Structure 1
């Protein structure tokens, strides 16, 4: 599939890479763009990476969902609630960067990944999408979230980079699934679930790391996500939030209100 494009993506000299990615993005973007119909009218479960994922899933039957969606290291992070296959993941949103563990054909097959969605923050990263075709399991489709969608999310966050989780949730909410359950997100108020990324030893470690990097804006993401959830519900989508997701969003909203300056008296 696209052998010439793959050669260009892998071997274009650095001075020619701007020309290469513009050419490939213009020619192939429409073919690789994620079709919202994948989620429309379906029952979808997003399993995020927060340590609260198990409690969020309590009371839910994953077997009743058509699609389980995960992100990044979720590909090889087992979840006990998925009894038939702890790695179950029909759709994987991934950054394809060195910050995450490598994606292997073996892990894609084990999880049952039918669609891998590359989060493309800028057009130049599309070269990475095309180059990854060489490592893709034949049973897995490779798609991208168009850069325009990413840019719109970034603007809604005041210029901060949206997380893969927000990109994922926003795409699915806009696709109008029948039902969407969002579990395992606390907007970095807690550390990751075991085996996802063990660099942080405590919730405080996670919060401090994200603040120091200054790349994401968790407090803004919480507000943006809750706005999108409200809009989807108004359009008839059944959206179920894990208890920890709801509680984290409420905590952040309360902190934001407390930080607002008091109105001046006339």
Structure 2
């Protein structure tokens, strides 16, 4: 009976606290989205990133930022965090630590997946912590479009974040730290994978994602928005110019 009551309380908290993220918040904003790939590191662009109106990161990036070790490259600010709501440190997004998020100034935490398994992950958070914490999902229409673009494969959190941002009405979007597993992770994210092939093999071994398909679809989405002010870091520009 206690488990049933606990689960019911978690369900009530989920229903009352999960909202669709209002994408219009990005309208007219200069946005930097920072992924965990090595292309965001050894750049000296930390202050540049922190100068944007909104800084977006994904999954365990908040843990990397919290160490303060790489602020000179990846900055120290986070305003919006896209998180898969799976707390596994190895294959998931790491602990959902809202005290840390508050300390960092993170305003919004988004689980992009507006479908059964994604909503179940969010429910599990509320059931576990019984916290009256506002969290977000992408709209059903937007996530369905992102999901449909990959066919049988599930979108990664990073790909979902990129797609959602590209659909928003920003004034500038700077993308760094996303190489679609064609390079290694940056320091402090998954340090047991220091080679590009290790990161790629890991993602493929999970069996849910297809980094090559995401890369091809990302290129198509970029082409759909030729008039938008999208700036890419040197690593992603190099990849796009050669593949």
Q: Shorter chain as normaliser: what TM range?
A: 0.7 to 0.9
Contact 2:55/2:77 (CA < 8 Å) preserved in 1? yes
TM normalised by structure 1 equals: 0.74
Which of 48, 58, 66 lines up with 1:61 in the alignment? 48
Contact 2:55/2:79 (CA < 8 Å) preserved in 1? yes
TM normalised by structure 2 equals: 0.81
Q: Give the 3 Å change call, closer, same or farther, for CA 167–136 of structure 1 in structure 2.
A: farther
Which of 213, 228, 235 lines up with 1:244 in the alignment? 235
Query: Partner residue of 2:193?
Result: 200
Q: Which runs of 5+ in 1 are unaligned?
A: 13-20, 255-266
SS of residue paired to 1:166? helix
Contact 2:84/2:111 (CA < 8 Å) preserved in 1? yes
Deviation at 1:68, TM superposition (A): 0.4
Does the alignment pair 1:8 with 2:27?
A: no
Deviation at 1:180, TM superposition (A): 0.3
Deviation at 1:212, TM superposition (A): 3.2
Does the alignment pair 1:119 with 2:112?
A: yes
SS of residue paired to 1:196? coil
Deviation at 1:142, TM superposition (A): 1.3
Query: Partner residue of 1:128?
Result: 121
Query: Partner residue of 1:44?
Result: 31
Query: Partner residue of 1:151?
Result: 144
Say which one has the larger Rg: 1
Q: How many correspondences in the alignment?
A: 229
Contact 2:79/2:107 (CA < 8 Å) preserved in 1? yes
Q: Point out the more displaced range, 45-54 or 120-129.
A: 120-129
1:98-113 alignment runs, 5 A limit = 98=88, 99-113=92-106
Contact 2:34/2:40 (CA < 8 Å) preserved in 1? yes
1:158-237 alignment runs, 5 A limit = 158-234=151-227, 237=228
Q: Which runs of 5+ in 2 are unaligned?
A: none
| Cα RMSD (Å) | 3.1
Which of 56, 62, 71 lines up with 1:80 in the alignment? 71
Contact 1:109/1:137 (CA < 8 Å) preserved in 2? no
Q: Give the 3 Å change call, closer, same or farther, for CA 44–61 of structure 1 in structure 2.
A: same
Cα offsets for 1:46-98 (capped at 9, x unmatched): 00000111256649722431010000000111332369xx5421000000102
